[in-house]
Amino acid sequence: MSASLGQPFFDSIYAADPDPWRFATSDYEREKYRVTLAALSRPHYVRGLDVGCSIGVLTRQLAGRCCELVAIDITEKPLAEARRRSADAPWVRFARMAAPGEWPDGAFDLIVLSEVVYYLSRDEVAALARRIVASLGAGGDLVLVHWTGATNYPLTGDEAATLLLREAAPVLRDVRSRRFDSYRLDVARRA
């Protein structure tokens, strides 16, 4: 598969199951969130972006580390649950956007893409890298987390992370990568 998986794909997934990847209940997700938060280089960020936030489980945890957090997803159904989950955090703003074609305005000092990039085509990953480079402020962190098992997505987790980091390489530095049994985590900083 080489074309991106767009909104119709995700609409059908969420129509069949409100939490199709068990973000709220799986031990895999819980441990991955713990490791992701531990990998953040700062205790606090001014403005963060969570791309592909789904039902907002990780978003709610990132909210405790950000003065302002923007969370986007390609389809509306999971965003309703994400809004409910962060109702007590008015500094978190949600929007339906299909990255990289749609992107929030302004600069960020944290951008998180957890299990998102492999849904995109190679051309869209290049466009996503340009969006990140344009909006990640000096000293800002980019965090990528991807499943490394077999997928039927346009890219594997390794292909997605490697391609995005390569496309953004002229600007991103200090890339730290860690492999776990079933996923990889990459953190890069804007020079």
Q: Is the pTM of this model over 0.85?
A: yes
CA angle, residues 87, 118, 10, in degrees to nearest 5:
50
Which domains are seen in the chain, by residue range? 7-190 (3.40.50.150)
Asked whether 120 and 4 are in contact (CB, 8 A), the reply is yes
Q: For residues 179 and 190, what is the distance between their CA atoms, to the nearest angstrom?
A: 22
Report the DSSP beta bridge partners of residue 48. 69, 110
133/102 Cα distance (integer angstroms): 15
* Residuewise pLDDT in 10s, the chain (191 residues): 456 667 666 666 776 667 766 777 799 999 999 999 999 999 999 999 999 999 999 999 999 999 999 999 989 999 999 999 999 999 999 999 999 999 999 999 999 999 999 989 999 999 999 999 999 999 999 999 999 998 888 999 999 999 999 999 989 988 899 999 999 999 999 98
User: How far, in Å, CA of 129 to CA of 89, rounded?
Assistant: 29
Contacts of 60 (CB under 8 A, 6+ apart): 85, 86, 89, 92
